[in-house]
Structure 1
């Protein structure tokens, strides 16, 4: 009798383990699910802000889906969240997506989000007036090897100036873009490689000088500045939900391009809620001119960017991104 009871308990426990192993990264109860979408509080990620504010995600996914949102300060923390199942999808810079893909992370770029938006500025009083003056100075980016970092260092290498990471003279610091103004004021850094709208904040409110414009920096007008990503497992296991997320994303981009003033107001509100910083309409207007919004992805530019990341020693091996991009949801 005791033996039969023990076997029954063992079977119940085993079934529980098997059920847990088969569950999705999104929580579900009686047909209802909770999914989490990620993005950054900057202008390259406006499609996520608009889709959230206008209810496009909810409209596409349906009432049985509870949607939660999580913002990130940099691509590394975003990619960690994607790997661990903390988020199901979201917007991130192409650099982190590529870097993590090369180390075996299960990630798929399923749509573009924006282009442009990376500006290089010098602190007032730094003595920097030209690109050549940056040699020997300290620059800041959100993260080592992030999209903005690769764009800047590619440009600088072509000018014959490299960072001390690769034997050159420039020193690098990293930090949240919303903190760059304070770092300029303290004199801790000389050059900021800033995504919008923080570039416009530095220019308009801190008196920083634009040294390399968004249309000049490497890959500035051709590389996706943000991409919509998910995991390959999500694509295989729940392609219907991924299609719904992409459809909401496309709705948002259409809204942005047709209603820029309304999109700007949404951006100002969302950034203040997420960062506590209230940006003026003038700052947003200035930043908007450096950004383009599209869900298309240029695979050749993604590969060229990856090759440059390898050349700059951010990647250990020559990358092959032929399987990174999946355009089935936007075609």
Structure 2
């Protein structure tokens, strides 16, 4: 296999209780995840993801038949979510086995379950999130008294928005009060509200950044990439239930092979990515993105199996500052051992867990 590349220009309150209680019934540690004896065989892998460009590895893997090929006799069934906390709720309830998801909900469930719930087994995407605002808002000072949206309370963009507002001197509480009001809203509804001028802006992932800019007439006030060293921050990771990893490491290995192959397909086929993503989005939502929107969106996202584990200490601090997360350790959050085994076998560079788990 060729080296996995990210040089595609494509270089590009009702959920508080759930957020604060991400416990799962299985018990496992990182070492068990990679080397445990497989449990009873399974015929189905239940996979979650979002209908977002930042989840392109999932979209491409499904559209191009990569998951079907690499999972063999194990059928992949899918569930599409709007944001991470809802996916965590499904994962915690045992309704899905793995999901593409943002880092902050992954941190939340791990801390709340004392490390029992889930493991990050790979990275998927970096970049592709921003605060888009309406005309007339030229600086943070213009946001006083305004209402902004995020995808869901406690999701990665919601945390980023709350921390950024605090850094600008604003207070915004989790019930929608404060100097700036944050209303967690489903992304498609956010666009409608923005077009009707019912909200002043939103911190969202791609393609919703580009939709608010192109379809909603907004402009980017803060690109999240500008807040991170070298502009790199994890937007999407691949998370698996800890007990599923313990009981079915062979299936997880095949899932990771499909993920790696999907990332490689994206790297090898830059001219085809937009069509593949749009085809799966159409299958999932009934509507494709315009050429302008998907082109702009892909320009702001990079894809890699590296989860950028070294950013997670900052993400933990952000969650605490935002008031959407309890304090706790994330030691053991990552189990990259199976992924790194696949990368070594293919002659690719391995990825780091930054001391936060197996690699």
TM-score by length of 1: 0.85
2:83 to 74, 78, 85: 74
**RMSD over aligned Cα, in angstroms?**
2.1
CA distance in 1, matches of 2:296, 2:151: 21
Equivalences for residues 108-119 of structure 1 within 5 A = 108-119=119-130
Displacement, 1:157? 1.9
Per-residue displacement from partner, 1:98-157 (whole Å, max 9, x unpaired)? Answer: 112221161110000100111111123xx3111221222111001112100112222222
The one of 106, 109, 117 equivalent to 1:106 is 117
The answer on whether the counterparts of 1:214 and 1:290 sit within 8 Å (CA) in structure 2 is no
Conserved in 2, the CA contact under 8 Å of 1:119 and 1:217?
no
> 5 Å matches for 1:1-331?
33-62=43-72, 64-104=73-113, 106-124=117-135, 127-165=136-174, 168-217=178-227, 221-317=231-327, 319-331=328-340
Distance 1:164 1:70 in 2: 31
Distance 1:134 1:72 in 2: 29
Q: CA deviation at 1:292?
A: 0.6
Residues 283 and 68 of structure 1: is their aligned pair in 2 closer, same or farther, counting only changes over 3 Å?
same
In structure 2, runs of 5+ residues without a counterpart are: 1-39, 341-359
Aligned length in residues: 299
Say whether the 8 Å CA contact 2:133–2:201 is kept in structure 1: yes
Q: CA offsets per residue over residues 3-33 of structure 1, 9 Å max, x none?
A: xxxxxxxxxxxxxxxxxxxxxxxxxxx9771
Q: Tell me the distance in 1 between the aligned counterparts of 2:237 and 2:307.
A: 8
* Cα deviation, residue 57, structure 1: 1.5
Whether the 8 Å CA contact 2:214–2:293 is kept in 1: the answer is yes
Distance 1:314 1:32, change over 3 A: closer
Structure 1, unmatched stretches of 5+, are 1-29
* Deviations, residues 284-317 of structure 1 (Å, cap 9, x unaligned): 1101111010111222211210112112221232
- Return structure 1 stretches of 4+ with deviation > 6 angstroms: none
Deviations 1:203-258 (A, max 9, x none): 11221021112422458933210110101111211111101101110111111122
Bigger radius of gyration among the two: 1
Distance 1:273 1:123, change over 3 A: farther
Q: Which has the higher contact order (CA 8 A, sep 6+)?
A: 2
Q: CA deviation at 1:168?
A: 3.9
Alpha-carbon spacing, 1:175–1:85, altered in 2? closer, same or farther (3 Å): same
Contact 2:44 2:74 in 1 (8 A): yes
- Distance in 2 (CA, whole Å) between partners of 1:197 and 1:220 is 22
Distance in 2, matches of 1:123 and 1:113, equals 30
Q: Secondary structure at the match of 2:43?
A: strand
